A and B are shown apart, each in its own frame.
Chain A
Amino acid sequence: MTHLLTRTSSVKADAQGNLPLTLSSLLPSAPITGHEIGVSGGAYAAALPTATFRARVGGGIATVESNNLIAVPLAGSSYPNFLEWGPERIATSPRMSNTVETGVSTLQNLYTSSGVFGGTRYYCGFRLSAAGTYRLSMDWCNGALTPSGGGIDVQWRTSTNQTLGPVVRMGRNDERTASCDGYVVVAGTTDVGTYVVATAGGRYNIANFVDICITVEKIA
């Protein structure tokens, strides 16, 4: 009896007729520790998990901001009450940095013409364009112009007013820097932001941009 000279991809049968097939040999490239098997370009391939990433807005420099009695919403009738988190840039001066990921972009209010430096722009939300599940988190507080005990109640929502987490009161910086968290499952492009539920005595006044950090994590 003879066995056939069978081979699969680069794996050949040995003299006893055994084909020592491995999972790694079926993949287009060799895996490394921590790799999972996913789909890339229509074929299975090993890669490090991509289900988690973090986009961020926050940190920065300077102090003193506006003294509005109400929070500034994102411009446009579709987003009547998304809190304006803080400036990416005022005129030519950078204020808050950000890191972006594929599938996550920031929503901004633009106050001056874009010009060479991009103009004065304030962050107001995120646009999530990749399907999946996201964890949303905002650390924020009001500045000293908010009276003691005052604050702004916010809640993560979509632009269609789907509530994504609890209502959280953001107090004055020396009384209460709070975290507002939420979860959203995205099927198509979805805009999310922190909806102003009530101003509750708070004034829109940022004490220090380093008190601000807003993150988006894609968790599935």
Chain B
Amino acid sequence: MSHNLLTINTAKPAATGVVSVGVADLADVSATAPTTGQVLVYDGTQWGPSQRPYQTIFIGDGAAQDYSTSTAASTASGAIVEFYSASPFNGVSGATLNATSGWCSSITLTTGRYIVEAVVGLTFSSSVGSALYQIFQDGIGVGSRGSVGFDVLRVGSRARAVVDVATTSTITVRLESVGSINGVASQGTRHAQRSSLEVRRV
């Protein structure tokens, strides 16, 4: 007796006659290997792996957490700003939040284009105190700057950037042009309560 020589595209029968067919064996499926989190999308000709259309990271749950509990070393110009969330939302495939005790100091992103927005709520020792802040990609400032001042009404300005990542990039938010800002130990809870960091894959 011979077994049936039926094949399904590139999938051939084993000695037992069983043809093990995977999705990639199907004639209209791309040979491109998928990565975690991707879905199959039809491009008009064939099916291929693609990122989900809406992926976001959101850090900032409004908790009254003192900035002194962060790992931030300084609030001087150039210092990295950390963002607090006990349960940050991370829906971006391949992204890593670099956080300690709920304080996120940076985000590592993989290949793709992203919009990053940040609001900083750090405090000042004088009514004329203020600071600018900007998104940084691998240590280089990108996009427009946000500003924060003494009064609560001066909290809410957004730093915003479009970030293209070729392989991986580290995203941080850094202070600039700082005046009369409180040190880390005396910052209080305003920043954790009123700040946010959002990343959207586009």
What is the interface residue range for chain B against chain A?
35 or more
- Specify which chain A residues have a CB less than 8 angstroms from the CB of B21 in the assembled complex: 21
Contact with A along B104-127 (1 / 0, CB 8 A): 000000000000000101000000
Residues of B143-202 contacting chain A, CB below 8 A = 151-153, 155-156, 193-196, 198
Q: Are B42 and A166 in contact (CB under 8 A)?
A: no
A135 within 8 A of B: yes
How many Å from the CB of B18 to the closest CB on chain A?
14
How many Å from the CB of A99 to the closest CB on chain B?
18
- Specify which chain A residues have a CB less than 8 angstroms from the CB of B193 in the assembled complex: 166-167
Contact (A149, B29) CB under 8 Å given A19-B6, A33-B42, A135-B56: no
- Specify which chain B residues have a CB less than 8 angstroms from the CB of A49 in the assembled complex: 52-54
* Cα–Cα distance between A73 and B5 once the two chains are bound (Å): 73
Contact with B along A159-177 (1 / 0, CB 8 A): 0000111111101000110
Contact among A19, A183, A185 with B7 in the assembled complex (CB-CB below 8 Å):
A19
* Cα–Cα distance between A23 and B53 once the two chains are bound (Å): 21
Binds B, one of A34-42, A106-114, A116-124: A34-42
Residues of A193-213 contacting chain B, CB below 8 A = 200
Q: Are B47 and A23 in contact (CB under 8 A)?
A: yes
Contact (A21, B153) CB under 8 Å given A33-B43, A163-B61, A165-B62: no
Contact with A along B1-23 (1 / 0, CB 8 A): 01011111100000000000101
Q: Are B195 and A3 in contact (CB under 8 A)?
A: no
Q: Are B9 and A183 in contact (CB under 8 A)?
A: no
Contact (A168, B42) CB under 8 Å given A20-B27, A219-B56: no
User: Looking across the interface, which residue of chain A has its beta carbon closest to that of B45?
Assistant: A33
Contact (A166, B8) CB under 8 Å given A46-B42, A49-B53, A181-B196: no
A133 within 8 A of B: yes
* Cα–Cα distance between A21 and B27 once the two chains are bound (Å): 6
Q: Are B156 and A176 in contact (CB under 8 A)?
A: yes
- Specify which chain B residues have a CB less than 8 angstroms from the CB of A20 in the assembled complex: 8-9, 27
A60 within 8 A of B: no
A24 within 8 A of B: yes
B63 within 8 A of A: yes
Q: Are A23 and B26 in contact (CB under 8 A)?
A: yes
Q: Are A33 and B44 in contact (CB under 8 A)?
A: yes
- Specify which chain B residues have a CB less than 8 angstroms from the CB of A151 in the assembled complex: 152-153
* Cα–Cα distance between A87 and B131 once the two chains are bound (Å): 38
Contact (A181, B198) CB under 8 Å given A51-B52, A166-B119, A166-B193: yes
- Specify which chain A residues have a CB less than 8 angstroms from the CB of B25 in the assembled complex: 21
B129 within 8 A of A: no
A189 within 8 A of B: no
Contact among B43, B89, B121 with A183 in the assembled complex (CB-CB below 8 Å):
B89
User: Looking across the interface, which residue of chain A has its beta carbon closest to that of B24?
Assistant: A23
A93 within 8 A of B: no
Q: Are A1 and B60 in contact (CB under 8 A)?
A: no
- Specify which chain A residues have a CB less than 8 angstroms from the CB of B121 in the assembled complex: 166
Contact (A52, B54) CB under 8 Å given A3-B4, A179-B156: yes
- Specify which chain B residues have a CB less than 8 angstroms from the CB of A217 in the assembled complex: 54
For this complex, 10 residue pairs linking A to B, each with C-beta atoms less than 8 Å apart, are: A19-B6, A20-B27, A21-B21, A21-B27, A49-B52, A51-B52, A51-B53, A165-B61, A169-B153, A169-B194
A residues near B, CB below 8 A? 1, 3-4, 6, 13, 16-24, 26, 31-37, 46, 49, 51-52, 133, 135, 149, 151, 153, 155, 163-169, 171, 175-176, 178-179, 181-183, 185, 200, 217, 219-220
What 5 A-B pairs come out closest when comparing CB atoms?
Answer: A33-B44, A22-B28, A31-B42, A35-B42, A166-B60
